[in-house]
Chains A and B, each alone.
Chain A
């Protein structure tokens, strides 16, 4: 079959359609006009016009994380591309599949400091899984198909394709996806069977086991979460999840110990410290999880399952590593467990659960309730109670509200929780919620936010209004950058340097100015009514929840401390003063 010639821009759109792209988040500009012209001429792919390129990437991340598909971004050259860098880095750190098309000046102008020229592949090399500069129209189809393959397979991540304007105009033949095969890129999917057999043996013989699972389980697809849940239930062992892993195992199940790490639960962190066998699945021993490395789970045999060999033995040396896709490995592990008729040590497990239940008895998430002032924890608890039976998706910004959301909102299923874990990007949650709502038009999408984070990307209210996306922004407004204030209280003598917002907008009026709906709650008795109204309104809503300004997020492992040194509440603060070494690690 003789391939018909198409313009570069036509090839790009055709390749995106063949890759199953339903929606592009983007912002036009000079160098991408040929692509915008093609978008105008077709009806298959929708385009969402954001108000800032960073938001385009976060929206694509929300879309990707809530669907498991690749998120697609289109921005112009120069400032369009540089504005996207924070989003790309965010996707890189959280392993989110994104294909970001960036415009570029015409090939003959590259290197001339042309108008809106930036060395996009140079700038994004370290914050993408891979990037391409397409120099011939003939390469376009192959590169775009490859970009989707690289972004979505192995450990997922963002891929940038830089598109000079002349390449988008010249004609070339199209090539369908099935004719593209990368010559060097081959991620390992299946785990080594011998190692999996060894793992089953170690797991079955454990006396004080724990499963420690992360975002890799979510990235492996919803099947992986089901397999994980089955396997963990089969063993009867306790499980803890990282911030990125929430939803991989049902939060309401008694075997779930809650999130671990710096603001994790007492029982999860102590179980990690005291365990004799740790099974790390799709988790990367991040510094916010491990605390002091020298005292991290000192007496355990560690098994790690991960698709990325560079995640193994990076921070913590493990005894047995299985490289492969979590879903595939769990499937093999379940088969081998059943075939071997593996039995767990019931007596030892009983003793272990007794200890865990004693730790649970401390009720580490308890807080001082109040009749007069809204406690942020209370607001999230009420939000959870009033939305848990609906088809709800939660995104967050970064800071105290994010940790409270992780602690008090229970996730039963994967892909329901979108948060910036690795990079910690304030301003992530609101654009992300727009991407989620685009993918799930009938769902209830709530961005649990702080007032400072929200203001980092609040221009996107216009996007939500334009596309009639009824996203809800649930602002826990304490007028401080709360986590900064908390650290200043604990580490810097209560000198609240630049963490108080002297001037804040009236969020209700702000919402109205954009054509959205604004609601406010200032007393605990208002909380339920406001949440119910927020749910009932079928339009974008900003909720200004005026919460306790001095509340701190507990429990907390002071940075640099080991898992057993947790601050459980305000009364514990003095006893666990943070060392200078710890302060460096903040």
Chain B
């Protein structure tokens, strides 16, 4: 899982990479197999079709390694036959990245009220409620989600589902 606050070894960088692929059977296995086979890290990976006419899917992955390893990861991704484009958002100018989490908190009394108060500060929405539980929906940068989840921990956090990061370059240009 992506965690911006984790102390890293010197020389290790975290990069967000967008990969545009043909949406064909096995393409995700090719990408994940590349990472496991060559011993690269995947901190987060998301995928969905973004062009239904051309059948193109966009994979956003967050990975870490030395600059030489990051360069290898991009070259190895580019070598896969169904890959149309590889773009390293971290080096290619500013970008926006977001993640969504569903956070389930169970409790009653003051803890329940406190969780609602914090959710309000974080602009998280309540998407499900029972007498003794909430499900919050929160969108933001990875760090924000981490902070929110950490605050929910003592208030009865029971379950978390996160989407992983999606990211896109700022400005008017396409990938």
B76, A310: Cβ atoms closer than 8 Å: yes
A184, B78: Cβ atoms closer than 8 Å: no
Task: Identify the stretch in A170-178, A311-319, A414-422 within 8 Å (CB) of chain B at 4 or more residues.
Answer: A311-319
Q: B37: CB under 8 A from chain A?
A: yes
In the complex, A55→B21 CA distance in Å?
Answer: 35
Q: A499: CB under 8 A from chain B?
A: no
Which residues of chain A are within 8 angstroms of B72 by Cβ–Cβ distance?
310, 313-314
Within 8 A of B (CB), among A351-377: none
A313, B68: Cβ atoms closer than 8 Å: yes
B26, A121: Cβ atoms closer than 8 Å: yes
Q: Mask for B103-124, Cβ within 8 A of A = 1, else 0? A: 0000000000000000000000
Given the known inter-chain contacts A126-B33, A184-B22, please indicate yes or no for A309 contacting B81, CB distance below 8 A.
Answer: no
Q: Mask for B64-103, Cβ within 8 A of A = 1, else 0? A: 0000100110011011111110000000000000000000
Q: Mask for A182-213, Cβ within 8 A of B = 1, else 0? A: 11110000000000000000000000000000
Which residues of chain A are within 8 angstroms of B30 by Cβ–Cβ distance?
125
In the complex, A106→B118 CA distance in Å?
Answer: 57
Which residues of chain A are within 8 angstroms of B68 by Cβ–Cβ distance?
313-314, 317
Which residues of chain A are within 8 angstroms of B82 by Cβ–Cβ distance?
184
Which residues of chain A are within 8 angstroms of B25 by Cβ–Cβ distance?
133
Which residues of chain A are within 8 angstroms of B37 by Cβ–Cβ distance?
126
Residue ID in chain B nearest A187 by CB atoms: B79
In the complex, A135→B81 CA distance in Å?
Answer: 19
Q: Mask for A245-256, Cβ within 8 A of B = 1, else 0? A: 000000000000
B81, A130: Cβ atoms closer than 8 Å: yes
Given the known inter-chain contacts A184-B84, A185-B81, A308-B79, please indicate yes or no for A313 contacting B26, CB distance below 8 A.
Answer: no
A125, B84: Cβ atoms closer than 8 Å: no
A310, B79: Cβ atoms closer than 8 Å: yes
In the complex, A183→B79 CA distance in Å?
Answer: 14
Residue ID in chain B nearest A159 by CB atoms: B81
**Nearest CB in chain B: distance from A321 CB, A:** 10
Q: A65: CB under 8 A from chain B?
A: no
B81, A122: Cβ atoms closer than 8 Å: no
Which residues of chain B are within 8 angstroms of A314 by Cβ–Cβ distance?
68, 72
**Nearest CB in chain A: distance from B52 CB, A:** 15
B81, A150: Cβ atoms closer than 8 Å: yes
In the complex, A366→B29 CA distance in Å?
Answer: 51
Residue ID in chain A nearest B75 by CB atoms: A310
Within 8 A of B (CB), among A109-123: 121-122
A125, B33: Cβ atoms closer than 8 Å: yes
In the complex, A571→B110 CA distance in Å?
Answer: 83
Residue ID in chain A nearest B25 by CB atoms: A133
In the complex, A313→B66 CA distance in Å?
Answer: 12
Please pick, from A129, A308, A310, A312, the residue contacting B81 in the complex, using a CB distance under 8 A. A129
In the complex, A155→B75 CA distance in Å?
Answer: 13
Please pick, from B33, B75, B80, the residue contacting A312 in the complex, using a CB distance under 8 A. B75
**Nearest CB in chain A: distance from B143 CB, A:** 31
A183, B22: Cβ atoms closer than 8 Å: yes
Most buried by A among B37, B75, B78, B81: B81
Which residues of chain B are within 8 angstroms of A125 by Cβ–Cβ distance?
26, 29-30, 33
In the complex, A308→B79 CA distance in Å?
Answer: 8
Please pick, from B26, B75, B76, B83, the residue contacting A184 in the complex, using a CB distance under 8 A. B83
In the complex, A317→B22 CA distance in Å?
Answer: 32
Most buried by B among A122, A309, A310: A310
Q: List 10 other contacts, CB 8 Å, given A125-B26, A184-B83.
A: A125-B33, A130-B81, A131-B26, A182-B81, A184-B84, A309-B75, A310-B75, A313-B68, A313-B71, A314-B72
Chain B contact residues, CB within 8 Å of chain A = 21-22, 25-26, 29-30, 33, 37, 68, 71-72, 75-76, 78-84
Sort A-B residue pairs by CB-CB distance and give the 5 closest, nearest first. Answer: A310-B75, A130-B81, A309-B75, A184-B84, A310-B76
Chain A contact residues, CB within 8 Å of chain B = 121-122, 125-126, 129-131, 133, 150, 155, 182-185, 308-310, 312-314, 317
12 of the cross-chain contacts (CB-CB < 8 Å) are: A125-B30, A125-B33, A131-B26, A183-B22, A183-B84, A184-B21, A184-B22, A185-B81, A310-B76, A310-B78, A313-B71, A317-B68
